[in-house]
Structure 1
């Protein structure tokens, strides 16, 4: 099903004010045996708890519900196995990889057990023999990356809770409140109030996800103030509201493998429910109701980041996949201080001169606009080996020393496209955003390396000198603050960061389909 077809299914007829999305607010409940979720009514009206037991539908009322994890021993070990085709730092590149595998005739799914992965679809390649046959075929064709992730389980996490002195065990659970308000207090997270309803459901990783079904405009109330900041100028907040709405509706397929649509973290958009809403954000959401950003009457890929470092990146500077015409590289300034055509930043001398320039950018003065961070070889080696272990690299255990690091390719926006790391096991090549995943110091891929030497001239580490925080594609939130303070309207801010796009009512996208 295409993106617009999917929207046509979930959205009501034109003129209706409400449509709902599913957000995973606790994604891997039961990953640790100590996990606990406390759900509470915000008033005297009880929570309605619904589930099935031995084929019977049960509904109970309670003001407070504590979900706990019990490790249940299995009568005999249970095989859990996945054929991992590729491993990625971001959804965007995982999605591109999935499309490539599909073009080769494989049925696949994008998952997020930790990093993003592409799996051979588990309900299709369901037997050990079939998975091994497929892996052997891929190896014969020359594919070296795919691998089997195999484990034998002796116990599994189950969810239990107690109401009125009776203990219940469930896999699926629905929790509702007549006022559509529920407090959630989960392990390692602050207590927050969520609108809508909640469902607990199994996921693809052997544990559970707590999903918030919430109306989109209500969802934005828990996103916009935390993404753009509580004190942002009003036009910047309006721009963020339009972008956040567009981003959400374009990314409803991210967690299809787990039967929900979006997460509540920086892997999607930060969503904190209604515990810290903001009057300015609420007004911006209302003023821009059902407005989305479009290109050729399609929802744009509404990517944004905190700080560009003075120049935005092309989509394919950061991720694999087809370029987006509206995600271009532009100098993040209204002062005409740098000509990218005459002085492209893929030339190292130009790049270093650009990073040395700090005045007259939209982000000038922000804490992440320019940065320098140093790390010694021992720390960098530890970073690298941790990364290699996470990505199942064959040399993960053998790498014990980094000898040299070199940036070997940049894009015209200055982003690193390729870095070579010479180790005791040979050269490891890192591409695009994997550079940030592999090492702790860089806050973006907009940096250069300065060798650090001891008094004897021996290499002891590197200084990372760069700018920006995040991927740098699309709108800069710090830049939007500045432009709004200069009197720019939300529409002008969005046109600056997403050239050739326009703001239209969501209904126009649906009618076009």
Structure 2
């Protein structure tokens, strides 16, 4: 199976070999890569959803559709897309097997690898949370799906379940051009100058470059996809990820990491026939809104530069605030370790010796969290934090999580106790037990943040809250950082840049052992681990 990536001026093979699990650019040096970004992922989820796409003054839109088996091109200044429900000639069964439900793509990908090892063909989807499905075009019939589910249950696998919906109508995109209404599932939109204004549900307009297309997704709605040059894409990412006031060298570091992240993650939405999203599940992308001449210059200075390890793009993860120590990959997600994603004290000074004082020890961790000075993020709002919740508030949040993930313990009424069972050397909570009226819910790694409201990260300890009768009423989460804490700290990069560190030095600090190099045809985008 070979996936094609569009390079400026030509189509070249990107090269995905399923047997080897390799993505490579196949690009000639200096050629810019076009990527496919889902800028509106669930169009039609609400009955009154609208998308208005306009050309700029003096330009025209070209709207490509299929009519009678032939491509037809319509011309207009503006098109408003709506979603209509079209009755089906007969009811259809929309059904698939959910093998696992995960909070992040990284853990879903590791779960997919496990199911493949059992001989099951799978696909990774994102109907809300990330899910691993038995591949729909392989398990096509109700009988095949039920036989697979029966076999899995017989072998003791309890998480897979069947999702079934009977549909009597299907969504269809609808729009009017030249007084005639068109109903189509796929619509492609171009303009001569490659610029568009996009307005969602009558809200503010956003400007995008490249080309647009509306296409069905796996969830009965539509996705608006932006085909855009990677360097133009970065203009809509970097100012929103690093902030408009970041020092120049921090901006350059963010640009290199954002470029690397995008190119490594082009497989995320393969099940829906595009590559990246425009939200925090990928990188925040807002088109040409909020661009900055200073940040544009940083993008131009670093054009084509990526970060690699053994000639493969690194897993370029980053977060706003680490809390004073970065996490290793396996502290947060399941899957193989990345040698360059390891615990690093987030300071230019020797404020803590991780080798001699592992933060896996509870007392050492509490001493570390009590430190405030000398770190790259000292003074930032979420560098240190305390957040409290009553037992009832925790029960409500946990029950919502259990329902969403179809956990067998869903239906809890009370939370009786929280207990941290295990920490990593970076201090992240790896395992937390929640004692409820229906049994113990075991939360692992990043799922702790998904299941419980207060923690801003997994870098915390628990302080029991007692009433005057010495009865437990809730907990205060005392911790640091915001987000997963893996890789570069964005606020940490501010401090290092202000100290005069170059972008290359900042990246080497957060991703030790990596290489900064121009993108070329020898670099592997992503290699599946055995």
CA distance, structure 2, for counterparts of residue 295 and residue 138 of structure 1: 38
Mapped to 2, the partners of 1:509 and 1:220 lie a distance apart of 23
Residues 2-29 of structure 1 show CA distances to partners (whole Å, capped at 9, x for unaligned) of 9973499884642443220100000011
Matches within 5 A, 1:8-19: 11=25, 13-19=27-33
Aligned mates of 2:118, 2:294 — CA distance in 1: 49
Distance 2:240 2:145 in 1: 43
Find 1:164's aligned residue among 154, 169, 178: 178
Residues in 2 aligned to 1:48 and 1:10: alpha-carbon distance in whole angstroms: 33
State the distance in 2 between where 1:2 and 1:483 align: 42
* TM-score under structure 1 length normalisation: 0.97
Mapped to 2, the partners of 1:442 and 1:188 lie a distance apart of 35
1:90 aligns with 2:104: yes
Q: What is the SS of the residue equivalent to 1:266?
A: coil
Per the alignment, residue 337 of structure 2 pairs with: 323
Equivalent residues in 2 for 1:384-423 (5 A)?
384-396=398-410, 398-423=411-436
Q: What SS does structure 1 have at the residue aligned with 2:485? A: coil
Is 2:481 aligned against 1:468? Answer: yes
Maintained 8 Å contact 1:343/1:350:
yes
Deviations 1:183-230 (A, max 9, x none): 111138642100100010111111110000001101111001110000
**Take 1:121 and 1:110, find their aligned partners in 2: how far apart are those partners?**
9
Match 2:308 to one of 264, 279, 294: 294
Deviation at 1:53, TM superposition (A): 2.3
Q: Distance in 2 between matches of 1:323 and 1:13?
A: 28
Deviates more, 1:89-98 or 1:153-162: 153-162
CA 1:41–1:494: 2 relative to 1, 3 Å: same
Contact 1:345-1:411 at 8 Å conserved across structures: yes
* 1:511/1:481 CA distance change after superposition, 3 Å: closer
Describe the SS at the equivalent of 2:395. Answer: helix
Q: How far apart, CA to CA, are the structure 1 residues paired with 2:203 and 2:124?
A: 26
CA contact (8 A) 2:26 2:521 kept: no
Question: How far does residue 395 in structure 1 lie from its aligned partner after superposition?
Answer: 2.2
* 2:456 aligned residue: 443
> Are the equivalent residues in 2 in contact too, given 1:65–1:162 (CA < 8 A)?
yes
Gaps of 5+ in 1: none
Residues 345 and 410 in structure 1, CA contact (< 8 A), matched pair in contact too: yes
Question: Quick one: distance in 1 between partners of 2:153 and 2:68?
Answer: 45
Offset at 1:69? Answer: 1.3
Counterpart check, 1:379 vs 2:393: yes
| Alpha-carbon distance in structure 1 between the residues aligned to 2:170 and 2:323 | 46
Tell me if the contact between 2:43 and 2:224 (Cα under 8 Å) persists in the aligned partners: yes
Residue 5 (structure 1) aligned to one of 15, 23, 28:
15
Shift of 1:394: 1.9
Aligned to 1:332: 346
Contact 1:12–1:19 (CA under 8 A) maintained in structure 2 = no
- The answer for the alignment partner of 2:520 in structure 1 is 507
Matched, 1:127 2:141: yes
| Residues 499 and 510 (structure 1), Cα distance of their counterparts in 2 relative to 1, 3 Å cut | closer
Task: Indicate conservation of the 8 Å contact 2:27/2:521, yes or no.
Answer: no
Indicate the residue corresponding to 2:131 in structure 1. Answer: 117
Instruction: Say if 1:241 and 1:284, in contact at 8 Å, map to a contact too.
Output: yes
Give secondary structure in 2 for the equivalent of 1:194. Answer: strand
Deviates most, 188-197 or 274-283: 188-197
Superposition deviation, residue 76 in structure 1: 3.4
**Aligned counterpart, 1:238:** 252
Give the conservation status (yes or no) of the 8 Å contact 1:313–1:413: yes
C-alpha contact 1:44 1:63 (8 A) present in aligned 2: no
The match for 1:272 is 286
Greater alpha carbon shift after TM alignment, 202-211 vs 156-165: 156-165
Contact 2:313 2:524 in 1 (8 A): no
CA distance in 2, matches of 1:394, 1:361: 43
Aligned 8 A contact 1:411 1:417 in 2? yes
| Corresponding residue for residue 119 of structure 2 | 105
What residue in structure 2 maps to residue 431 of structure 1?
444
Contact 1:318–1:433 (CA under 8 A) maintained in structure 2:
yes
Paired residues for 1:141-180 under 5 Å: 141-180=155-194
Whether 1:68 and 2:82 are equivalent positions in the alignment is yes
- The match for 1:198 among 212, 223, 228 is 212
CA distance in structure 1 between the aligned counterparts of 2:96 and 2:467, rounded to whole angstroms: 47
Partner Cα separation in structure 1 for residue 93 and residue 260 of structure 2: 41
**Residue 341 of structure 1, aligned match among 326, 348, 355:** 355
1:136 pairs, out of 150, 165, 168, with 150
| Higher deviation after alignment, 75-84 or 11-20 | 11-20
Superposed CA RMSD = 1.8
Structure 2: give runs of 5+ residues left out of the alignment: 4-13
